[in-house]
Amino acid sequence: MSDLTDLYGEVILDHCKKPRNFRLIPDATHKASGANPLCGDHIQVYLKLDGDKIADIGFLGNGCAISRAAASIMTQELIGKTKLEAEELFRKYHAMVTRDMGKPYEGEDLGKLAIFAGVAEFPVRVKCATLSWHAMEAALKGGATTVSTE
């Protein structure tokens, strides 16, 4: 469990206890649900777009510390970004948490998201850390409104 203590750093625990933007957006223009059956995480992501820009984003759901913290921090990072910027950020974040641990982390400019770099050591947690992002991407694409990590 000592490895997990490192993974559940202070920032992650804070976001887990007090998730930011943990709310439904009644006039959301885009929304999607995500499920991670392996861990039992369920999440709904709501977005309100103003043109191409994410004017508001919120989420609801239940899940483990990593999934809640990842969703909370995602919403903070994405407010004000364009759809393209959001997709690009997800691409970098996904590359970080699925990287080969044998290689050093090159550290693309991920700001606060870099605290999830350690997740790459725990493949089973990668799905927890990316669930909200997959739901966000599905919401933006507007196709499937439910995503599953399985």
- Binding interface with Zn ion (CB under 5 A): 39, 41, 64, 67, 128
Q: Which of 75, 82, 60, 77 is nearest to 114 (CA)?
A: 77
Tell me which amino acid residue 19 is: P
| Closest CB 137 distance from Zn ion, rounded Å | 18
C-beta of 85 vs 121, nearer to Zn ion: 121
C-beta of 13 vs 84, nearer to Zn ion: 13
| Closest CB 134 distance from Zn ion, rounded Å | 13
Query: Between the CA of residue 146 and those of 32, 100, 114, 139, what are the distances in Å?
Result: 6, 29, 27, 9
Please give the DSSP secondary-structure letter assigned to residue 82. B
C-beta of 128 vs 135, nearer to Zn ion: 128
C-beta of 128 vs 138, nearer to Zn ion: 128
- 139, 51 contact by CB (below 8 A): no
| Closest CB 131 distance from Zn ion, rounded Å | 7
| Closest CB 67 distance from Zn ion, rounded Å | 4
- 46, 57 contact by CB (below 8 A): yes
